[in-house]
Chain A
Amino acid sequence: GQNIDQPTEMTATEGAIVQINCTYQTSGFNGLFWYQQHAGEAPTFLSYNVLDGLEEKGRFSSFLSRSKGYSYLLLKELQMKDSASYLCAVMDSNYQLIWGAGTKLIIKP
């Protein structure tokens, strides 16, 4: 079966750095996406990785290791507005998105 695992909830301090991990087992691989979703709102696209390595975009970076079936999202200089759920999604061999359950990130002052 297809499976994506990410922690249910994480807590971090404003101004700090946090890493949200995602491991996956899917039928094929055509890329991995990270989305941010604030409560009651739509998911917004953060990053896409299809090759191994680190993609940096401002305060957010995403890393992929295809051989390990592993990705992480790194958030630097945390702000209160970063409190949200972060969803990992993998595009399988049929170009279908398989979603993780999401990680709720709580930022404390």
Chain B
Amino acid sequence: DTEVTQTPKHLVMGMTNKKSLKCEQHMGHRAMYWYKQKAKKPPELMFVYSYEKLSINESVPSRFSPECPNSSLLNLHLHALQPEDSALYLCASSQDLGTGGSPLHFGNGTRLTVT
């Protein structure tokens, strides 16, 4: 069982659709992350929130829009995606940002397919 919950598990969307991925954690962690992972590749950092403020944006296209409504929730809004955006989207949290030894706890991910 994972302590970071992501919904939906699977998502198929067209290039003109708007959808959102959701992530929730109740471990009291103050840092939350969005990663993108392609098959047989390591996770690729997209965004980091620290204390509900966007801390890192790794030059992600604007068709991906993150949102952190509160310390437990993290959303990723998707609009006008491309087929190459199909991937496993992972949410993670850690106790804090900028603290060594604080491992990331990952959710089970959303498998996104863009048609």
Contact surface of A with B, Cβ cutoff 8 Å? 30-31, 33, 40-45, 48, 50, 87, 89, 91, 95-97, 99-102, 104
Contact = CB atoms under 8 A, between A and B. Distances in A.
Interface of A is mostly: loop
Contacts of A31: 100-101
Contacts of B109: 41-42
Interface string B100-115: 1101111111010000
Interface of B: 2, 40-43, 45, 56, 88, 90, 97-101, 103-109, 111
Contacts, number: 47
Contact of B106 (A40, A42, A50): A42
28 contacts: A30-B100, A41-B109, A42-B107, A42-B108, A42-B109, A43-B43, A43-B90, A43-B104, A45-B103, A45-B104, A45-B105, A50-B100, A50-B101, A87-B42, A91-B100, A95-B97, A95-B98, A95-B99, A96-B45, A96-B56, A97-B45, A97-B104, A99-B43, A100-B42, A101-B41, A102-B41, A102-B42, A104-B40
